[in-house]
Amino acid sequence: VQVLESGGGSVQTGDSLTLSCRASGGTFSKRTLGWFRQAPGKEREFVAAIDWIADATLYADSVKGRFTISSDIARSTYLQMNSLKDEDTAVYYCAAGRAGASISSTVSEYDDWGQGTQVTVSS
């Protein structure tokens, strides 16, 4: 499975940005896709996830109410980020969940990762 993110960039505090993710090549066994982020010197942390089969979503408390994860019929997945804060600055990674796995915030439940896209928020 190949995972490709796009849409990162540099914005100001309070701005919005949308990230896109496309998973291809054998996604028929997959049902979840998650977004994670990693800031310099910090561990990779969960941001949001979607279960295509159950039509369910999951968010980290730090982004709840500001970020929205969605997908289209082709399973391209989007992360709409509103009211961005300086602390949202990180490399954002998209990852496809393990075959058949339910929605999760745990890094180890995702086994196909993209290369990441940088999001920089400055005041």
pLDDT in tens, 51-92: 988 889 999 999 999 999 999 888 899 999 999 999 999 999
Mean pLDDT of the chain: 94
pLDDT band for position 45 (50/70/90)? very high
Residues 80/35, Cβ–Cβ less than 8 Å? no
- What distances in angstroms separate CA 4 from CA 7, 15, 61, 83, 94, one per listed residue? 10, 23, 25, 25, 7
The string of DSSP letters for 35-95 reads EEEE-TTS--EEEEEEETTTTEEEE-TTTTTTEEEEE-TT--EEEEE-S--GGG-EEEEEE
pLDDT for residue 53: 87
Length of the chain: 123
Comparing 100 with 116, the larger pLDDT belongs to 116
pLDDT at 113: 96
Residue 82 has a pLDDT of 98
How confident is the model at residue 25, as a pLDDT?
A: 82
Q: Using an 8 Å Cβ cutoff, are 4 and 112 in contact?
A: no
**Does residue 94 have a pLDDT over 90?**
yes
Q: Which of helix, strand or coil describes residue 33?
A: strand
Residue 121 DSSP one-character state: E
Residue 26: pLDDT over 80: no
> What would the mean pLDDT of 38-49 be, rounded to a whole number?
97
pLDDT, position 74: 83
